[in-house]
Amino acid sequence: MFFEVLWQDQQRVMAVDDAMGEPLGHLPRGVSSWLVELLHDGWVQLTGYKPAGSLCKQAEYDRRWRVRIGVLLTASGRQIVEPRRPKTKPEVLHQVVLAAYQQAQRYIRADLVRELADGLRPITCQVLLPETRLLLALLPGVAREIRHVEALHRQLGPDGNHPPSASGAAQFAQVTE
Answer whether 0.85 is exceeded by the pTM: no
Confirm if 97 and 120 have CB atoms less than 8 A apart. Answer: yes
Taken in order 58, 59, 60, 66, is the CA torsion positive or negative? Answer: negative
User: In the predicted model, what is the mean pLDDT of residues 120-132?
Assistant: 96
Mean pLDDT score across all residues of the chain: 79
Q: Distance between CA atoms of 35 and 71, rounded to whole angstroms? A: 10
Integer angstrom CA distances of residue 89 from 86, 92, 94, 125: 8, 5, 9, 13
**pLDDT of 173 higher than 50:** no
**pLDDT of 63 higher than 60:** no
Which of the four pLDDT bands, split at 50, 70 and 90, describes residue 167? very low
Q: Distance between CA atoms of 26 and 21, rounded to whole angstroms? A: 14
Q: Distance between CA atoms of 112 and 106, rounded to whole angstroms? A: 11
Q: Distance between CA atoms of 58 and 80, rounded to whole angstroms? A: 37
**pLDDT of 134 higher than 70:** yes
- Min mean pLDDT across 32-36, 48-52, 92-96, 115-119 is at 48-52
The pLDDT, as a whole number, for residue 84 is 94
The pLDDT, as a whole number, for residue 171 is 40
DSSP structural state of residue 168:
H
Integer angstrom CA distances of residue 84 from 44, 95, 130, 134: 19, 8, 16, 17
- Per residue in 6-60, pLDDT (tens digit) is 444 545 667 777 677 777 667 777 888 899 899 999 999 887 777 776 555 554 5
The pLDDT, as a whole number, for residue 168 is 41
Which of the four pLDDT bands, split at 50, 70 and 90, describes residue 104? very high
The pLDDT, as a whole number, for residue 160 is 62
Closest CA to 93 of 67, 130, 61, 47: 130
